[in-house]
Amino acid sequence: MDKKLQKIREKCIEANPKDSWLEYGQEVVEDTNGNFIASSRPRPIRLADVLLAIRKFVEENGEPQDKLIYSLWNPKDNNLENQSEETIEFIYRLLK
């Protein structure tokens, strides 16, 4: 699953490279010396990110798929990582 999410993230970044992908928030982690440091983590992949990536795919390949994604995506959660395996698999196969 991580491989698929990473590939989807790459395609989303390609479609919208100006967005701030790396600085979503800070988390405190312990380094190898026992020091606590703040570390940036990537922000979640949202429906808008996926739709931009699909739009880029459609522009390049001429295959509209956006209506299907609306039927698969759980609208109560805007984070790709919380979507069903079926949804992630569909997006991954479309964008890879």
Full residue range of the structural domain in which residue 43 is found: 2-95
Q: What are the backbone angles phi and psi of residue 14, rounded to the nearest 5°? A: -60, -40
Q: pTM above 0.75?
A: no
Q: What pLDDT digit, counting tens, does each position of 7-33 carry?
A: 988 888 888 887 666 555 556 667 788
Sorting pLDDT into bands at 50, 70 and 90, what band is 90? Answer: confident
Distance (Å, whole) CA 79 – CA 46: 5
Task: Sort strands 36-41 and 25-30 into parallel, antiparallel or unpaired.
Answer: antiparallel
Tell me what pLDDT residue 53 has: 86
The model's confidence at residue 38, banded by pLDDT at 50, 70 and 90, is low
Residue written as token pair 């039927």: 71
SS3 40: strand
- pLDDT in the model for residue 66: 60
Residue 88 dihedral angles phi and psi, to the nearest 5°? -60, -45
- Into how many domains does the chain fold? 1
Three-state secondary-structure class, residue 37: strand
d(C-alpha 30, C-alpha 7), whole Å = 28
Read off the pLDDT of residues 43-58 as tens digits, 9 standing for 90 and up: 788 888 888 888 788 7
What is the overall mean pLDDT for the chain?
Answer: 79
